[in-house]
Amino acid sequence: MPVLPNQDSIRIYGSLEVPGDKSISHRAVILGSISKGTTTINNFLDSEDCMRTVDAFRLMGVEIKKSGNTLQIDGKGKSGLEEPLEPIYFGNSGTTARLMLGLLTSLPFSSLVYGDSSLVNRPMDRVIVPLAKMGGKFIGRKQTNYLPIALDGGNLHGITYHMPVNSAQVKSAILLAGIGAKGVTKVIESYPTRNHTENMLRAFGANIKVKHNEIEVNASGVLRGTDVYVPGDISSAAFLLTAAAIIPGSSLIIKNVGINETRSGVIEVLEEMGASISIENKTVVGGELLGDIHIEYRALSGITIEGEIIPRLIDEIPIIALLATQAEGKTIIRNAEELKVKETDRIQAIVDVLTSLGAHIDATEDGMVIIGKSTLKGGTVKSYHDHRIAMMAVIASLITEGNVTIDDLSSVSISYPSFMNDLKAVIQKA
Ligand code: S3P
Protein backbone atom coordinates (compact mmCIF):
# COMPACT_ATOMS: atom_id res chain seq x y z
CA MET A 1 0.00 0.00 0.00
CA PRO A 2 1.56 3.30 -1.03
CA VAL A 3 1.84 5.62 1.93
CA LEU A 4 -0.18 8.76 1.26
CA PRO A 5 0.53 12.02 3.08
CA ASN A 6 -1.72 12.55 6.09
CA GLN A 7 -4.24 15.29 6.81
CA ASP A 8 -2.04 17.52 8.96
CA SER A 9 -0.15 18.40 5.84
CA ILE A 10 -2.73 18.08 3.05
CA ARG A 11 -6.05 19.21 1.67
CA ILE A 12 -8.15 17.91 -1.24
CA TYR A 13 -8.15 20.55 -3.91
CA GLY A 14 -8.83 20.95 -7.63
CA SER A 15 -11.11 19.73 -10.32
CA LEU A 16 -11.38 16.39 -12.16
CA GLU A 17 -13.71 13.89 -13.81
CA VAL A 18 -14.22 10.37 -12.52
CA PRO A 19 -14.61 7.40 -14.93
CA GLY A 20 -17.96 6.39 -16.44
CA ASP A 21 -20.80 4.88 -14.45
CA LYS A 22 -20.56 1.12 -13.92
CA SER A 23 -24.31 0.42 -13.96
CA ILE A 24 -24.88 2.45 -17.13
CA SER A 25 -21.85 0.93 -18.89
CA HIS A 26 -23.18 -2.62 -18.33
CA ARG A 27 -26.62 -1.68 -19.64
CA ALA A 28 -25.24 0.08 -22.71
CA VAL A 29 -23.29 -3.06 -23.68
CA ILE A 30 -26.34 -5.27 -23.14
CA LEU A 31 -28.78 -3.11 -25.11
CA GLY A 32 -26.25 -2.34 -27.87
CA SER A 33 -25.60 -6.07 -28.30
CA ILE A 34 -29.27 -7.01 -28.67
CA SER A 35 -30.14 -4.10 -30.98
CA LYS A 36 -29.83 -3.85 -34.74
CA GLY A 37 -27.28 -1.35 -36.05
CA THR A 38 -24.28 0.38 -34.56
CA THR A 39 -24.10 1.50 -30.94
CA THR A 40 -21.20 3.73 -29.91
CA ILE A 41 -20.59 4.02 -26.16
CA ASN A 42 -18.55 7.04 -25.10
CA ASN A 43 -16.92 7.28 -21.67
CA PHE A 44 -17.45 3.53 -21.12
CA LEU A 45 -16.05 2.32 -17.78
CA ASP A 46 -13.10 0.15 -18.75
CA SER A 47 -13.09 -1.96 -15.57
CA GLU A 48 -12.99 -5.66 -14.67
CA ASP A 49 -16.75 -5.87 -14.00
CA CYS A 50 -17.87 -4.16 -17.22
CA MET A 51 -15.48 -6.26 -19.31
CA ARG A 52 -17.23 -9.40 -18.05
CA THR A 53 -20.42 -8.14 -19.76
CA VAL A 54 -18.47 -7.35 -22.96
CA ASP A 55 -16.87 -10.83 -22.94
CA ALA A 56 -20.27 -12.51 -22.46
CA PHE A 57 -21.54 -10.98 -25.72
CA ARG A 58 -18.29 -11.65 -27.58
CA LEU A 59 -18.82 -15.30 -26.66
CA MET A 60 -22.24 -15.08 -28.32
CA GLY A 61 -20.69 -13.77 -31.54
CA VAL A 62 -21.21 -10.01 -31.10
CA GLU A 63 -18.48 -7.84 -32.61
CA ILE A 64 -17.43 -5.25 -30.02
CA LYS A 65 -14.47 -2.98 -30.83
CA LYS A 66 -12.80 -1.14 -27.98
CA SER A 67 -10.55 1.86 -28.26
CA GLY A 68 -9.76 3.37 -24.87
CA ASN A 69 -13.09 4.35 -23.32
CA THR A 70 -15.05 4.12 -26.56
CA LEU A 71 -16.84 0.93 -27.55
CA GLN A 72 -18.39 0.27 -30.91
CA ILE A 73 -20.92 -2.54 -31.07
CA ASP A 74 -22.05 -4.00 -34.37
CA GLY A 75 -25.52 -5.12 -33.27
CA LYS A 76 -27.30 -7.82 -35.25
CA GLY A 77 -30.35 -7.94 -32.99
CA LYS A 78 -31.31 -10.71 -30.58
CA SER A 79 -31.70 -13.20 -33.41
CA GLY A 80 -28.04 -12.60 -34.30
CA LEU A 81 -26.82 -13.90 -30.92
CA GLU A 82 -25.19 -17.34 -31.08
CA GLU A 83 -25.47 -20.09 -28.49
CA PRO A 84 -22.33 -19.84 -26.30
CA LEU A 85 -20.13 -22.91 -26.79
CA GLU A 86 -18.34 -22.39 -23.49
CA PRO A 87 -19.55 -21.53 -19.97
CA ILE A 88 -19.96 -17.75 -19.53
CA TYR A 89 -17.77 -16.30 -16.76
CA PHE A 90 -19.26 -13.36 -14.83
CA GLY A 91 -16.18 -12.83 -12.61
CA ASN A 92 -16.99 -10.67 -9.55
CA SER A 93 -19.88 -8.86 -11.22
CA GLY A 94 -23.31 -9.22 -9.61
CA THR A 95 -24.78 -6.85 -12.19
CA THR A 96 -23.53 -8.97 -15.10
CA ALA A 97 -24.86 -12.11 -13.40
CA ARG A 98 -28.37 -10.87 -12.60
CA LEU A 99 -28.97 -8.88 -15.80
CA MET A 100 -27.51 -11.57 -18.08
CA LEU A 101 -29.59 -14.28 -16.38
CA GLY A 102 -32.65 -12.20 -17.32
CA LEU A 103 -31.59 -11.75 -20.90
CA LEU A 104 -30.31 -15.32 -21.45
CA THR A 105 -33.60 -16.73 -20.16
CA SER A 106 -35.36 -15.03 -23.07
CA LEU A 107 -33.00 -16.45 -25.74
CA PRO A 108 -33.81 -19.71 -27.54
CA PHE A 109 -30.74 -21.67 -26.44
CA SER A 110 -28.98 -23.15 -23.42
CA SER A 111 -26.17 -21.61 -21.44
CA LEU A 112 -24.03 -22.38 -18.42
CA VAL A 113 -22.93 -19.45 -16.26
CA TYR A 114 -20.53 -19.11 -13.33
CA GLY A 115 -18.52 -16.56 -11.34
CA ASP A 116 -15.55 -16.01 -9.03
CA SER A 117 -15.32 -17.14 -5.39
CA SER A 118 -17.37 -14.13 -4.19
CA LEU A 119 -20.08 -14.28 -6.84
CA VAL A 120 -20.71 -18.04 -6.40
CA ASN A 121 -21.74 -17.23 -2.82
CA ARG A 122 -24.20 -14.44 -3.70
CA PRO A 123 -27.92 -15.28 -3.90
CA MET A 124 -29.41 -15.79 -7.36
CA ASP A 125 -32.87 -17.00 -6.28
CA ARG A 126 -33.97 -13.36 -6.26
CA VAL A 127 -33.83 -13.48 -10.09
CA ILE A 128 -34.39 -17.21 -10.63
CA VAL A 129 -37.78 -17.17 -8.83
CA PRO A 130 -39.42 -14.52 -11.08
CA LEU A 131 -37.67 -15.80 -14.22
CA ALA A 132 -38.95 -19.33 -13.54
CA LYS A 133 -42.47 -17.89 -13.17
CA MET A 134 -41.99 -16.46 -16.69
CA GLY A 135 -41.18 -19.94 -18.00
CA GLY A 136 -37.38 -20.14 -17.65
CA LYS A 137 -35.81 -23.50 -16.81
CA PHE A 138 -32.81 -23.63 -14.49
CA ILE A 139 -30.63 -25.98 -12.56
CA GLY A 140 -27.92 -24.79 -10.21
CA ARG A 141 -26.12 -25.30 -6.94
CA LYS A 142 -28.12 -25.45 -3.67
CA GLN A 143 -31.69 -25.48 -5.09
CA THR A 144 -30.52 -23.12 -7.84
CA ASN A 145 -29.83 -20.29 -5.41
CA TYR A 146 -26.16 -20.12 -6.40
CA LEU A 147 -23.94 -20.17 -9.48
CA PRO A 148 -22.92 -22.16 -11.48
CA ILE A 149 -26.36 -22.31 -13.11
CA ALA A 150 -27.39 -24.03 -16.34
CA LEU A 151 -30.41 -22.61 -18.11
CA ASP A 152 -32.64 -23.33 -21.00
CA GLY A 153 -34.16 -20.17 -22.46
CA GLY A 154 -36.98 -19.11 -24.75
CA ASN A 155 -40.81 -19.24 -24.79
CA LEU A 156 -41.39 -16.81 -21.93
CA HIS A 157 -44.64 -15.17 -20.93
CA GLY A 158 -45.12 -11.91 -19.01
CA ILE A 159 -45.82 -11.74 -15.27
CA THR A 160 -46.73 -9.12 -12.67
CA TYR A 161 -44.10 -9.16 -9.96
CA HIS A 162 -44.06 -7.34 -6.61
CA MET A 163 -40.39 -7.13 -5.76
CA PRO A 164 -39.62 -8.65 -2.34
CA VAL A 165 -36.17 -6.94 -2.27
CA ASN A 166 -35.33 -3.40 -3.35
CA SER A 167 -32.97 -4.38 -6.15
CA ALA A 168 -32.36 -2.73 -9.51
CA GLN A 169 -30.59 -5.89 -10.61
CA VAL A 170 -33.73 -7.97 -10.05
CA LYS A 171 -35.97 -5.35 -11.70
CA SER A 172 -33.62 -5.17 -14.70
CA ALA A 173 -33.40 -8.96 -15.09
CA ILE A 174 -37.20 -9.18 -15.26
CA LEU A 175 -37.47 -6.26 -17.72
CA LEU A 176 -34.78 -7.73 -20.00
CA ALA A 177 -36.63 -11.06 -20.00
CA GLY A 178 -39.94 -9.19 -20.41
CA ILE A 179 -39.00 -7.46 -23.68
CA GLY A 180 -38.61 -10.95 -25.16
CA ALA A 181 -41.72 -12.49 -23.53
CA LYS A 182 -45.31 -12.88 -24.77
CA GLY A 183 -47.72 -10.38 -23.22
CA VAL A 184 -47.15 -7.73 -20.59
CA THR A 185 -44.48 -7.86 -17.88
CA LYS A 186 -45.01 -5.60 -14.89
CA VAL A 187 -42.60 -4.98 -12.01
CA ILE A 188 -43.80 -3.22 -8.84
CA GLU A 189 -41.23 -1.67 -6.49
CA SER A 190 -41.67 -0.69 -2.81
CA TYR A 191 -38.90 1.92 -2.95
CA PRO A 192 -37.39 3.33 -6.15
CA THR A 193 -34.14 1.65 -7.20
CA ARG A 194 -31.77 2.91 -9.91
CA ASN A 195 -33.73 3.35 -13.13
CA HIS A 196 -30.98 3.24 -15.77
CA THR A 197 -32.46 0.17 -17.46
CA GLU A 198 -35.79 1.96 -17.94
CA ASN A 199 -34.08 5.12 -19.29
CA MET A 200 -31.95 3.16 -21.69
CA LEU A 201 -34.69 0.81 -22.90
CA ARG A 202 -36.58 3.96 -23.91
CA ALA A 203 -33.51 5.35 -25.73
CA PHE A 204 -33.17 2.09 -27.72
CA GLY A 205 -36.85 2.18 -28.74
CA ALA A 206 -38.35 -0.47 -26.43
CA ASN A 207 -42.00 -0.53 -25.49
CA ILE A 208 -41.89 0.64 -21.84
CA LYS A 209 -44.24 2.55 -19.52
CA VAL A 210 -43.37 3.83 -16.05
CA LYS A 211 -46.13 4.92 -13.64
CA HIS A 212 -44.96 5.78 -10.11
CA ASN A 213 -43.57 2.51 -8.75
CA GLU A 214 -44.83 0.30 -11.62
CA ILE A 215 -42.79 -0.47 -14.70
CA GLU A 216 -44.40 -2.23 -17.63
CA VAL A 217 -42.79 -3.67 -20.79
CA ASN A 218 -44.24 -5.46 -23.79
CA ALA A 219 -42.57 -7.69 -26.33
CA SER A 220 -40.49 -4.97 -27.93
CA GLY A 221 -39.66 -6.21 -31.43
CA VAL A 222 -36.38 -4.97 -32.78
CA LEU A 223 -34.40 -2.43 -30.75
CA ARG A 224 -32.32 0.09 -32.71
CA GLY A 225 -28.65 0.81 -31.93
CA THR A 226 -27.90 4.33 -30.72
CA ASP A 227 -25.09 6.41 -29.24
CA VAL A 228 -24.68 6.43 -25.48
CA TYR A 229 -22.67 8.85 -23.34
CA VAL A 230 -21.91 7.38 -19.92
CA PRO A 231 -21.87 10.01 -17.13
CA GLY A 232 -19.22 9.92 -14.40
CA ASP A 233 -19.97 7.35 -11.70
CA ILE A 234 -21.36 8.96 -8.53
CA SER A 235 -20.37 5.80 -6.63
CA SER A 236 -16.71 6.47 -7.56
CA ALA A 237 -17.05 10.23 -7.00
CA ALA A 238 -18.31 9.50 -3.45
CA PHE A 239 -14.80 8.46 -2.32
CA LEU A 240 -13.24 11.76 -3.39
CA LEU A 241 -16.21 13.82 -2.14
CA THR A 242 -15.79 12.18 1.26
CA ALA A 243 -12.04 12.88 1.31
CA ALA A 244 -12.85 16.58 0.73
CA ALA A 245 -15.65 16.51 3.33
CA ILE A 246 -13.39 15.21 6.12
CA ILE A 247 -10.14 17.12 5.47
CA PRO A 248 -10.15 20.78 6.61
CA GLY A 249 -9.46 23.38 3.92
CA SER A 250 -10.58 21.14 1.03
CA SER A 251 -12.44 22.38 -2.05
CA LEU A 252 -13.10 19.95 -4.90
CA ILE A 253 -15.08 20.01 -8.15
CA ILE A 254 -16.02 16.73 -9.85
CA LYS A 255 -17.36 17.35 -13.34
CA ASN A 256 -19.97 15.50 -15.40
CA VAL A 257 -21.15 13.19 -12.64
CA GLY A 258 -24.41 11.24 -13.05
CA ILE A 259 -26.82 12.67 -10.47
CA ASN A 260 -29.97 10.73 -11.39
CA GLU A 261 -32.06 10.98 -8.22
CA THR A 262 -32.25 7.19 -7.89
CA ARG A 263 -28.47 7.34 -7.29
CA SER A 264 -27.83 10.64 -5.54
CA GLY A 265 -28.62 9.74 -1.91
CA VAL A 266 -24.99 10.37 -0.96
CA ILE A 267 -25.29 14.04 -1.95
CA GLU A 268 -28.32 14.40 0.35
CA VAL A 269 -26.38 12.73 3.18
CA LEU A 270 -23.37 15.04 2.72
CA GLU A 271 -25.69 18.07 2.76
CA GLU A 272 -27.63 16.89 5.79
CA MET A 273 -24.40 16.22 7.71
CA GLY A 274 -23.38 19.82 7.04
CA ALA A 275 -20.92 19.69 4.12
CA SER A 276 -20.99 22.66 1.75
CA ILE A 277 -22.11 21.12 -1.54
CA SER A 278 -23.53 22.63 -4.73
CA ILE A 279 -24.28 21.35 -8.23
CA GLU A 280 -23.63 23.39 -11.34
CA ASN A 281 -24.06 22.91 -15.11
CA LYS A 282 -26.91 20.40 -14.93
CA THR A 283 -27.74 18.72 -18.26
CA VAL A 284 -29.70 15.66 -19.36
CA VAL A 285 -28.06 13.17 -21.74
CA GLY A 286 -29.86 9.99 -22.83
CA GLY A 287 -32.42 10.46 -20.05
CA GLU A 288 -29.68 10.72 -17.39
CA LEU A 289 -29.08 13.91 -15.35
CA LEU A 290 -25.45 15.07 -15.10
CA GLY A 291 -23.82 17.91 -13.18
CA ASP A 292 -20.60 19.30 -11.72
CA ILE A 293 -20.45 18.73 -7.97
CA HIS A 294 -18.56 21.28 -5.87
CA ILE A 295 -17.81 20.37 -2.26
CA GLU A 296 -16.00 22.30 0.45
CA TYR A 297 -15.01 21.15 3.91
CA ARG A 298 -17.26 22.14 6.85
CA ALA A 299 -17.73 20.61 10.31
CA LEU A 300 -20.13 17.63 10.12
CA SER A 301 -22.76 16.19 12.45
CA GLY A 302 -24.28 12.71 12.71
CA ILE A 303 -27.66 11.83 11.14
CA THR A 304 -30.04 8.88 10.72
CA ILE A 305 -30.04 7.19 7.31
CA GLU A 306 -32.96 4.81 6.72
CA GLY A 307 -35.95 3.92 4.53
CA GLU A 308 -36.37 5.00 0.93
CA ILE A 309 -32.93 6.61 0.66
CA ILE A 310 -31.14 3.30 1.27
CA PRO A 311 -31.42 1.89 -2.31
CA ARG A 312 -30.35 5.32 -3.58
CA LEU A 313 -26.99 5.09 -1.76
CA ILE A 314 -26.53 1.37 -1.12
CA ASP A 315 -23.05 1.21 -2.72
CA GLU A 316 -21.90 4.34 -0.89
CA ILE A 317 -22.50 3.01 2.64
CA PRO A 318 -18.86 1.93 3.18
CA ILE A 319 -17.59 5.46 2.51
CA ILE A 320 -20.56 7.06 4.34
CA ALA A 321 -19.56 5.02 7.41
CA LEU A 322 -16.09 6.57 7.27
CA LEU A 323 -17.69 10.01 6.83
CA ALA A 324 -19.79 9.38 9.95
CA THR A 325 -16.67 8.68 12.05
CA GLN A 326 -15.73 12.34 11.39
CA ALA A 327 -19.20 13.74 12.21
CA GLU A 328 -19.99 14.98 15.71
CA GLY A 329 -22.55 12.72 17.47
CA LYS A 330 -24.43 9.60 16.45
CA THR A 331 -25.05 8.32 12.91
CA ILE A 332 -27.50 5.45 12.56
CA ILE A 333 -27.82 3.42 9.35
CA ARG A 334 -30.93 1.19 9.20
CA ASN A 335 -32.79 -0.96 6.63
CA ALA A 336 -29.51 -1.82 4.88
CA GLU A 337 -29.53 -5.62 5.33
CA GLU A 338 -28.79 -5.93 1.57
CA LEU A 339 -25.19 -5.02 2.49
CA LYS A 340 -24.77 -8.58 3.79
CA VAL A 341 -25.06 -10.02 0.26
CA LYS A 342 -22.80 -7.62 -1.64
CA GLU A 343 -19.26 -8.52 -2.84
CA THR A 344 -18.67 -9.46 0.81
CA ASP A 345 -20.76 -9.03 3.98
CA ARG A 346 -20.25 -5.27 3.99
CA ILE A 347 -21.75 -4.67 7.46
CA GLN A 348 -19.13 -6.94 8.98
CA ALA A 349 -16.31 -5.67 6.70
CA ILE A 350 -17.03 -1.95 7.37
CA VAL A 351 -17.22 -2.50 11.14
CA ASP A 352 -14.08 -4.63 11.13
CA VAL A 353 -11.97 -2.12 9.16
CA LEU A 354 -13.16 0.99 10.99
CA THR A 355 -12.90 -0.65 14.43
CA SER A 356 -9.31 -1.62 13.80
CA LEU A 357 -8.59 2.03 12.88
CA GLY A 358 -10.03 3.17 16.24
CA ALA A 359 -13.58 4.23 15.24
CA HIS A 360 -16.57 3.77 17.56
CA ILE A 361 -18.86 1.66 15.41
CA ASP A 362 -21.22 -1.23 16.15
CA ALA A 363 -22.94 -3.56 13.71
CA THR A 364 -26.72 -3.99 13.97
CA GLU A 365 -29.02 -6.50 12.26
CA ASP A 366 -29.68 -4.18 9.32
CA GLY A 367 -26.93 -1.58 9.46
CA MET A 368 -24.66 0.10 11.98
CA VAL A 369 -24.32 2.82 14.61
CA ILE A 370 -21.31 5.14 14.55
CA ILE A 371 -20.33 7.61 17.25
CA GLY A 372 -18.10 10.49 16.18
CA LYS A 373 -15.98 12.33 15.98
CA SER A 374 -13.04 9.94 16.39
CA THR A 375 -9.36 10.38 15.84
CA LEU A 376 -8.45 7.39 13.70
CA LYS A 377 -5.17 5.57 14.13
CA GLY A 378 -3.00 3.56 11.75
CA GLY A 379 -3.12 -0.21 11.50
CA THR A 380 -3.32 -3.21 9.22
CA VAL A 381 -6.68 -3.90 7.58
CA LYS A 382 -8.22 -6.47 5.26
CA SER A 383 -10.09 -5.33 2.15
CA TYR A 384 -11.99 -8.64 1.82
CA HIS A 385 -11.18 -8.34 -1.90
CA ASP A 386 -14.07 -5.85 -2.05
CA HIS A 387 -13.36 -2.75 -4.15
CA ARG A 388 -15.50 -0.40 -2.08
CA ILE A 389 -13.97 -1.56 1.23
CA ALA A 390 -10.44 -1.18 -0.22
CA MET A 391 -11.13 2.38 -1.44
CA MET A 392 -12.77 3.33 1.87
CA ALA A 393 -9.61 2.17 3.70
CA VAL A 394 -7.41 4.25 1.37
CA ILE A 395 -9.48 7.39 2.07
CA ALA A 396 -9.33 6.59 5.81
CA SER A 397 -5.53 6.46 5.59
CA LEU A 398 -5.51 10.17 4.68
CA ILE A 399 -6.71 11.09 8.18
CA THR A 400 -5.17 8.43 10.41
CA GLU A 401 -2.43 9.12 12.91
CA GLY A 402 0.08 6.60 11.59
CA ASN A 403 0.12 4.52 8.44
CA VAL A 404 -2.56 2.14 7.24
CA THR A 405 -1.52 -1.09 5.58
CA ILE A 406 -4.16 -2.70 3.35
CA ASP A 407 -3.69 -6.36 2.47
CA ASP A 408 -4.70 -6.04 -1.17
CA LEU A 409 -5.74 -3.17 -3.44
CA SER A 410 -6.15 -5.17 -6.65
CA SER A 411 -9.97 -5.24 -6.29
CA VAL A 412 -10.06 -1.49 -7.02
CA SER A 413 -9.87 -2.38 -10.74
CA ILE A 414 -13.37 -3.86 -10.47
CA SER A 415 -15.01 -0.42 -10.57
CA TYR A 416 -12.38 2.36 -10.49
CA PRO A 417 -9.02 1.37 -12.01
CA SER A 418 -7.64 4.95 -11.96
CA PHE A 419 -8.64 5.56 -8.31
CA MET A 420 -5.12 5.96 -6.85
CA ASN A 421 -4.00 8.30 -9.65
CA ASP A 422 -7.16 10.41 -9.44
CA LEU A 423 -6.81 10.68 -5.66
CA LYS A 424 -3.13 11.67 -5.84
CA ALA A 425 -4.03 14.33 -8.44
CA VAL A 426 -6.27 16.16 -5.96
CA ILE A 427 -4.08 15.83 -2.87
CA GLN A 428 -2.35 19.12 -2.26
CA LYS A 429 0.18 19.98 0.45
CA ALA A 430 -1.57 22.48 2.72
C1 S3P B 1 -26.62 -2.33 -9.46
C2 S3P B 1 -27.57 -2.40 -8.48
C3 S3P B 1 -27.26 -2.50 -7.04
C4 S3P B 1 -25.82 -2.13 -6.73
C5 S3P B 1 -24.85 -2.72 -7.73
C6 S3P B 1 -25.18 -2.28 -9.14
C7 S3P B 1 -27.06 -2.25 -10.85
O8 S3P B 1 -27.49 -3.83 -6.64
O9 S3P B 1 -25.47 -2.52 -5.43
O10 S3P B 1 -23.52 -2.31 -7.43
O11 S3P B 1 -26.24 -1.88 -11.73
O12 S3P B 1 -28.22 -2.56 -11.11
P13 S3P B 1 -28.98 -4.27 -6.19
O14 S3P B 1 -29.88 -3.72 -7.19
O15 S3P B 1 -29.02 -5.75 -6.19
O16 S3P B 1 -29.14 -3.68 -4.82
- pLDDT-based confidence at residue 34 (cuts at 50, 70, 90): very high
- Give alpha helix (H) positions in 145-289: 168-178, 196-203, 234-246, 265-273
- pLDDT-based confidence at residue 220 (cuts at 50, 70, 90): confident
- Give mean pLDDT, residues 353-369: 98
Cα separation, 316 vs 348, in Å, equals 15
Is any atom of ligand 1 closer than 6 Å to the C-beta of 167? Answer: yes
Distance from the alpha carbon of residue 119 to the mean position of ligand 1, in angstroms: 13
Cβ 263 vs Cβ 312: under 8 Å: yes
**Top-level CATH class of 3-17+231-429?**
alpha beta
Instruction: Write the DSSP assignment of 340-382 as a string of letters.
Output: GGSSS-HHHHHHHHHHHTT-EEEEETTEEEEEE----EEEEE-
**Nearest Cα residue to 215 out of 173, 247, 186, 244:** 186
List the residue whose alpha carbon is closest to atom 15 of ligand 1: 167
Virtual torsion, Cα 68, 236, 259, 315, nearest 10 deg? 130
pLDDT at 5 over 80: no
Task: Please give the mean pLDDT across all residues of the chain.
Answer: 97
Distance from the alpha carbon of residue 348 to the mean position of ligand 1, in angstroms: 19
Domain boundaries, the chain: 3-17+231-429, 22-229
- pLDDT-based confidence at residue 6 (cuts at 50, 70, 90): low
Is any atom of ligand 1 closer than 6 Å to the C-beta of 152? Answer: no
User: pTM higher than 0.85 for the full model?
Assistant: yes
Which residue type occupies 188? Answer: I
Q: Model confidence over 54-93: pLDDT tens digits?
A: 999 999 999 999 999 999 999 999 999 999 999 999 999 9
**Residue positions annotated with a catalytic role:** 315
- Give mean pLDDT, residues 157-174: 98
Homologous superfamily (CATH) for 22-229: Enolpyruvate transferase domain (3.65.10.10)
Q: Model confidence over 97-116: pLDDT tens digits?
A: 999 999 999 999 999 999 99
For residue 393, the tally of other CB atoms under 10 A from its CB is: 27
List the residue whose alpha carbon is closest to atom 16 of ligand 1: 167
CA distances from 391 to 27, 256, 265, 321 (A): 24, 21, 19, 13
List the residue whose alpha carbon is closest to atom 4 of ligand 1: 315
> Candidates 21, 22, 23: which one to mutate for ligand 1, based on the most atoms within 8 Å of Cβ?
23
Same CATH topology for 3-17+231-429 and 22-229: the answer is: yes
Ligand 1 nearest-atom number relative to CA 168? 14
**Nearest Cα residue to 342 out of 110, 221, 169:** 169
- Give mean pLDDT, residues 319-348: 98
pLDDT at 1: 46
For the CA atoms of the chain, what is the radius of gyration?
Answer: 21
pLDDT at 373 over 60: yes
